[in-house]
């Protein structure tokens, strides 16, 4: 397995070519010197979430939007293909206090420079009970919510959430969010969420949440914890097919 990757060092990064998103410009609203996240996933490609982060301050919305405008202008001048614009970056974007204003401004900039591109977010779903976060998520075209675990114990072991929210509260909030796409990471080795009992429970939980669809994937980069290994593609396909057969919810495997 390769090393973990460096943090993004700019507000706008990419475009990243992926089977999941096409040509995606990434938006990082978080610091560039350290990860800021409400989770500490054992498979995180950026390594562990630091306990004592640097003192780098968050950029506020006007600064972020000025940087986004400048980068979009340049990409438009250079004719960059942009299928979507994805808020992700160095941790959990819904922790940024100005995210609502950033999304409003970002959509205006999308309309001006890349009008066909959808604006989405990748989130660990730990903040979904907060009204301001729900209002922000509602502004977006696409909402990708992390959902790797079917129970509190597995969630705490694999995703290591740091906030006060419990697993049941998060699942209940996800059930009431319209038109979400779940992203489910399956891993093996030192940590494993692919055993029969867990997959059966995951299918039931996803069936209760009723997302638009589910993206099933596995690790392809270095991980924070040692010994985390990828799941064979055939097993991912089995999990995805099982979900669709039982619940009718479309599931795609990405690797
Ligand atoms: S939620 Fe994402 S950024 Fe945060 S620790 Fe997990 S994988 Fe890393």
Give pLDDT, residue 54: 81
Give pLDDT, residue 1: 57
Distance 109 CA to ligand 1 centre (A): 27
3-state secondary structure the chain: CCCCCCCCCCCEEEEEEECCCEEEEEECCCCCCCCECCCCCCCCCCCCCCCCCCCCCCCCHHHHHHHHHHHHHHHHHHCCCCCEEEECCCECHHHCCCHHHHHHHHHHHHHHHCCCCEEEEEECCCCCCCHHHHHHHHHCCEEEEECCCCCHHHHHHHCCCCCCCCHHHHHHHHHCCCCCEEEEEECEECCCCCCHHHHHHHHHHHHHHCCCEEEEEECCCCCCCCCEECCCHHHHHHHHHHHHHHHCCCEEEEC
Residue ranges of the domains in the chain? 12-254
Give pLDDT, residue 21: 79
Distance 112 CA to ligand 1 centre (A): 31
Distance 222 CA to ligand 1 centre (A): 13
Give pLDDT, residue 48: 95
pTM: 0.95
What residue ranges line ligand 1, CB within 6 angstroms? 37, 39-41, 44, 46, 49, 91-92, 124, 146
pLDDT tens digits, one per residue of 22-61: 899 999 999 999 999 999 999 999 999 998 778 889 999 9
pLDDT tens digits, one per residue of 141-169: 999 999 999 999 999 999 999 988 899 99
Distance 36 CA to ligand 1 centre (A): 9
Q: Which residues of the chain have pLDDT under 50?
A: none
CATH code for the part of the protein at 12-254: 3.20.20.70
């Amino acid at each position: 397995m390769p090393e973990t990757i460096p943090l993004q060092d700019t507000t706008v990064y990419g475009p990243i070519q992926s089977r999941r998103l096409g040509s995606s410009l990434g938006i990082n609203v978080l610091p560039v010197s350290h990860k800021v996240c409400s989770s500490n996933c054992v498979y995180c490609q950026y390594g562990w979430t630091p306990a004592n982060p640097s003192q780098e301050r968050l950029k506020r919305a006007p600064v972020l939007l000025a940087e986004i405008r400048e980068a979009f202008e340049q990409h438009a001048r250079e004719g960059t293909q942009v299928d979507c614009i994805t808020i992700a970056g160095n941790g959990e974007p819904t922790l940024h206090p100005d995210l609502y204003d950033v999304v409003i401004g970002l959509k205006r900039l999308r309309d001006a420079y890349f009008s066909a591109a959808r604006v989405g977010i990748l989130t660990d779903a730990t903040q979904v009970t907060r009204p301001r976060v729900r209002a922000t998520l509602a502004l977006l075209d696409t909402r990708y919510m992390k959902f790797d675990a079917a129970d509190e114990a597995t969630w705490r072991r694999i995703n290591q959430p740091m906030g006060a929210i419990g697993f049941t509260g998060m699942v209940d909030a996800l059930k009431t969010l319209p038109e979400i796409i779940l992203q489910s990471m399956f891993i093996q080795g030192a940590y494993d969420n692919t055993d029969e009992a867990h997959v059966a429970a995951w299918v039931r939980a996803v069936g209760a949440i009723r997302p638009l669809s589910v993206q099933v994937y596995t690790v392809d980069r270095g991980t924070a914890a040692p010994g985390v290994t990828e799941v064979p593609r055939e097993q991912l396909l089995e999990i995805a097919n099982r979900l669709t057969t039982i619940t009718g919810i479309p599931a795609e495997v990405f690797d």
